[in-house]
Structure 1
């Protein structure tokens, strides 16, 4: 099944139009005529911070709410894999989990595909280089927070390579749950 992960806090769903747009694109990619209107299907708890998992396919959907406990990410390990594919946000994360297991002492991984930086196991990334936040022009997954930050002009897409890490003075990860978070220790080759 495909998946949308949405931040819900105190009864409010964050950045719903970006999730709806990705869901619609994903169904179109699958040549599905099915449509789901997230606004009418997601009713979060009135109190607390939750990670909403909207799982769907051409046949149906389920909605789950989980209290959100953020993962602490202070370091990323470069992992090289030219075959990884994750262009649709899928609930099957076996390939990503196998790469994540190679992180060693780091908190997460940063995947390099075909010589270019892509994503961590759970987030898109950005590097602060020469006064601007650059994000990989070819991520594994075009995240909803990435789409919003690009639209706002906060991020600039660029073909980032591992050697560009040395030029960066800051590194950040971002997804629907953490929004935009700088990684303190950086990237370990």
Structure 2
């Protein structure tokens, strides 16, 4: 089973590399038993074909790097979310295969993305970690599915705070932001909670 890291490349620079290395090395240790620490900057050479625009570097690995793919990145429009429910869903490691999540995403109907509820608690969307705003601060669920690198960065910077957010809490907030390694906080879409079905 391959795992992946999706790394944002902007101006030919690999972004948030410290956070990607931390997650990758933790995954290699916990899943495969490897204790050596990979230094991705020494392992990933940016091809000459990559210009200054935003690109996605998708690194697939197990005990070794299996493959690295590069592609231009275009941010998807997200304006509406649909709540979906799965009390057994687990995506604590960034696996290449996302069958469980794909099944949930297929339930989105006319929405652009999903908001996954597990045992009554808000977790993540299909593509992103989330944070809810109430006009005074931004809060990300403690019950996330995937420990996102952008999420870790934003917590460390004090931009978002961690708290329990139940499904019934959703509408006590004004808005929700969706972010991931490819979507910075500044570019993250802000969605009115009334657009969550």
TM-score scaled by length of structure 1: 0.94
Q: In the alignment, what sits opposite 2:183?
A: 178
1:95 aligns with 2:103: no
Given the alignment, which residue of 158, 167, 173 partners 2:163?
158
**Higher mean C-alpha displacement, 53-62 vs 77-86:** 53-62
Q: Contact (CA 8 Å) 1:170, 1:182: kept in 2 or not?
A: no
Q: Which has the higher strand share?
A: 1
Deviation, structure 1 residue 185:
4.4
Q: In the alignment, what sits opposite 2:84?
A: 79
Q: Contact (CA 8 Å) 1:100, 1:121: kept in 2 or not?
A: yes
1:13-162 equivalent positions in 2, closer than 5 A: 13-30=14-31, 31-33=33-35, 35-44=37-46, 45-129=50-134, 131-162=136-167
In structure 2, C-alpha distance between the alignment counterparts of 1:75 and 1:40, rounded to whole Å: 40
Deviation, structure 1 residue 9:
1.5
Q: Contact (CA 8 Å) 1:11, 1:43: kept in 2 or not?
A: no
Give structure 1 stretches of 5+ with no counterpart: none
Q: In the alignment, what sits opposite 2:5?
A: 4
Deviation, structure 1 residue 35:
4.3
In structure 2, C-alpha distance between the alignment counterparts of 1:184 and 1:33, rounded to whole Å: 41
TM-score scaled by length of structure 2: 0.91
Number of residues of Structure 1 aligned to a counterpart in Structure 2? 189
Give structure 2 stretches of 5+ with no counterpart: none
Q: Aligned-residue CA RMSD in angstroms?
A: 1.4
In structure 2, C-alpha distance between the alignment counterparts of 1:63 and 1:37, rounded to whole Å: 15
In structure 2, C-alpha distance between the alignment counterparts of 1:158 and 1:176, rounded to whole Å: 21
Q: Deviations over 1:5-38 (max 9, x none)?
A: 0000221111110100000111111122454321
In structure 1, C-alpha distance between the alignment counterparts of 2:65 and 2:9, rounded to whole Å: 22
Deviation, structure 1 residue 54:
0.7
Deviation, structure 1 residue 130:
5.6
